[in-house]
Amino acid sequence: MKHYGIKITLPPGDTLNAAHLLGSDWEYYRWYDSKADRDRAYEQMLDRPPYYRRDEDASQTVTKVERV
């Protein structure tokens, strides 16, 4: 079992939180073998993807998590 993860949620007020789309309780997890792998992925997720326009940002909230 992988113990180091990243929890991805939508920020409050995001249009995808609508009940007929993803809903307000939508969340997604990505799990990694090591803390270093997770931390590298976390930093990459904070960067704007290269195909986004300058004034666009990803509409997501990322949080480091661990399970014991």
pLDDT single digits (tens) 25-36: 999 999 999 999
Domain ranges, ordered by start, for the chain:
4-66
pLDDT digits (tens, 9 = 90+) for 43-62: 998 876 676 677 666 678 99
22 contacts: CB under 8 Å, gap ≥ 6: 10, 16
Q: Which two tokens stand for residue 63?
A: 């949080």
Instruction: Decide: 65 and 7 in contact? Cβ < 8 Å.
Output: yes
- The rounded percent of the chain whose pLDDT value lies above 70 is 88
Cα(68)–Cα(54) distance, integer angstroms: 39
pLDDT in the model for residue 8: 95
Mean residue pLDDT of the chain comes to 89
pTM equals 0.82
